[in-house]
Amino acid sequence: MAHPSQLGFQDAASPVMEELLHFHDHALMIVFLISTFVLYIIVAMVTTNLTNKFILDSQEIEIIWTLLPAVILILIALPSLRILYLMDEINNPHLTIKAMGHQWYWSYEYTDYEDLGFDSYMIFTQDLTPGQFRLLEVDHRMVVPMESPIRALISAEDVLHSWAVPSLGVKMDAVPGRLNQTAFIASRPGIFYGQCSEICGANHSFMPIVVEAVPLVHFENWSSLMLEDA
């Protein structure tokens, strides 16, 4: 998760998020090189008294500064389109979870099981135990098996919400009357925090998302216990 004074992204916990981080570094390097070159040109024009007539009127330079931006845009667009298609790809999910947004909590339903569902409320500050994070902990975490394709069906019952977990590279709007879907793979075990990313009312800040990725054996044990309690 994020920590105070952090400047970069959270550590990637899914293949898609790793791709997004690589694309961010790729695009940032291009922006840095362009900015450096433009700054050099500005400083050179301001500080020098020399004038080159071939620069003032040259078709070759005009061709270069027309084609070069087009090439740069292609170098940015192609990786971006590739990642967009990867984010929409859903191939044979091992598990489907339906997340419903409410004012102001989330409810989860494991549709592959007959009766496995629960509500997920934020734990209030006075109820936190040592080591838990304020405004981020919930009473029931969304538990998923690691290294397994997970399909999430996102919707809402009242107003617009948005189900977002930055470490997993997932952000999907929850729209009343509409069922959106996204997919992710947790590449390592851990606890990943997110929050509603659409202003949904007075308590918008108090409906966190907690995804806990565990080995498959632990997930099966957890689901068995949840079904017994139900």
One domain for residues 68 and 114 = no
Residues 162 and 219 in one domain: yes
Kindly state the greatest CA–CA separation across the chain: 84
Residues 81 and 192 in one domain: no
| Judgement on whether residues 83 and 133 belong to the same structural domain of the protein | no
Higher pLDDT, 44 or 123: 123
Q: What CATH number has the domain bearing residue 59?
A: 1.10.287.90
Q: How many domains does the chain have?
A: 2
Nearest to 186, CA basis, from 93, 83, 102, 50 = 93
The parent domain of residue 23 ranges over 15-88
Same domain for 126 and 221: yes
Whether residue 101 is contained in a domain is answered as yes
Same domain (yes/no): 84, 101: no
Same domain, 77 and 102: no
Q: Compute the half-sphere exposure of residue 43: CA atoms within 13 Å on the CB side of its CA.
A: 6
Residue 143 within a domain? yes
Instruction: Residue count of the chain, please give it.
Output: 230
Q: In terms of domains, do 172 and 74 share one?
A: no
Residue 2 has pLDDT above 90, yes or no: no
pLDDT recorded at residue 37: 92
Looking at the whole model, is its pTM more than 0.95?
no
Residue 19 lies in a domain: yes
Write the CATH number for 153.
2.60.40.420
DSSP 197: -
Classify residue 8: in a domain, yes or no. Answer: no
Q: Are 143 and 191 in contact (CB under 8 A)?
A: no
Nearest to 102 by CA among 150, 163, 168: 163
pLDDT class of 186 with cuts at 50, 70, 90 = very high
Looking at the domain assignment, is residue 9 inside a domain?
A: no
49 within a domain of the structure (yes/no): yes
The answer as to whether 2 is a domain residue is no
Same structural domain for residues 103 and 47?
Answer: no
Contact criterion met (CB below 8 Å) for 160 and 200: yes
Q: Are 123 and 194 found together in one domain?
A: yes
Question: Does residue 119 share a domain with residue 79?
Answer: no
Of 52, 67, 88, which one is at a domain's C-terminal end? 88
The answer on 211 and 102 residing in a single domain is yes
Q: Is the dihedral of CA 78, 12, 139, 110 positive or negative?
A: positive
Name the amino acid, one letter, at 215: P
Whether the pLDDT of residue 222 is over 90: the answer is: yes
- The reply to whether 45 falls in a domain is yes
pLDDT in tens, 40-65: 989 988 888 777 666 667 788 888 88
- Note the pLDDT tens digit of each residue in 25-40: 999 999 999 999 999 9
Would you give the end-to-end CA distance of the chain in angstroms? 31
Partnered with residue 175 across adjacent β-strands are: none
Average predicted confidence (pLDDT) for the chain: 91
Q: Which of 88, 115, 146 is the last residue of a domain?
A: 88
Asked which of 88, 112, 135 is the last residue of a domain, the reply is: 88
